[in-house]
Amino acid sequence: MQNIGIVGSGQMGSGIAYVCSLAGFNVWLHDISMDRINAGLDSIKTNMMRQVEKGIVSHREGSAALECIKPAFSYQDLSTCDLVIEAATENEEVKRKILTSLCQSLRPDAILATNTSSISITRLAAFTDRPERFIGIHFMNPVPVMQLVELIRGIATEDPTYESAKEFIGKLGKTSTVSEDFPAFIVNRILLPMINEAIYTLYEGVGSVEAIDTAMRLGANHPMGPLQLADLIGLDTCLSIMQVLYEGLADSKYRPCPLLVKHVEAGWLGRKTKRGFYDYRGEKPVPTR
């Protein structure tokens, strides 16, 4: 496995492209427009410079990694890839359309993966022409920093596909853990209900944004508060995962908080839109409630 395709050049896709290039893979990055691809490449350069400044990688290593990444203007440009990872928005309909169209351009022996953080791998695999060569490879955000990658097998995923994916993650210098194909898998099955409960705590007036985040940072030793983390993940993504949990497990404890729904309806999606539970338009983030 040497040639990797990434579909989606947003926060996750650009992060995956960067770590793949650092590991020496040839990477093709695709999105629906050249503007989006360029934005992804700019994000990759920013990640590289940040790691160079921190001494994590040398300037030479970072520059060599950037040279390994090429824009893919169409799915046909991914036809030589050994592995293609779909990293589009966390929307099942969008992912289905991408996967169905993408298969027509891939080699018959290519492995196809999705970076979904919550959607059924078995169900997505059914929209491809290669369910036995389809697998969930869920990177954590931010990809260059986080060590863990969840591997999720669908009901049809064959052993060689899983073994190849596990070997690929090892070459990235990351640790893989295996999850069964249940809604939200392991990390988000535990993490997102905690975030949702923090939003309920704010919604019910138990504490302010600052009080809740301070309480969890200093009282539970979390590196950042749950509302800060929600803004980093993206409130639209948080809502999508909670909806998958609520609909998939039919348990009222997973009901998305109305305040989360309201923020998404307002377009306050967190850091990426400059507003969420914090306002990021000034020099320092300021709580919005």
Catalytic positions are: 117, 138, 150, 188
E-strand ranges in the chain read 3-7, 26-30, 69-72, 83-86, 111-114, 134-139, 148-153, 175-179, 278-279, 286-287
Helix and strand numbers, DSSP H then E, in the chain:
11, 10
In contact, 244 and 119? CB cutoff 8 Å: yes
* C-alpha span between 11 and 169 (Å, rounded): 19
Q: Which helix (H) or strand (E) holds 119?
A: none
- The answer to whether the CB of 119 falls within 8 A of the CB of 86 is no
- For the record, the structure tokens of 54 come out as 């921190």
Please list the alpha-helical segments (H only) found in 204-274: 209-219, 226-233, 235-249, 258-266
Task: Please state the separation of Cα 144 from the chain's center in Å.
Answer: 12
Query: Does an H or E element contain 19, and which?
Result: helix 11-22
Phi and psi torsions of 154, nearest 5°? -80, 175
Sort strands 134-139 and 148-153 into parallel, antiparallel or unpaired.
Answer: antiparallel
Map residue 225 onto helix, strand or coil. Answer: coil
Per the listing, tokens 């994916």 go with 165
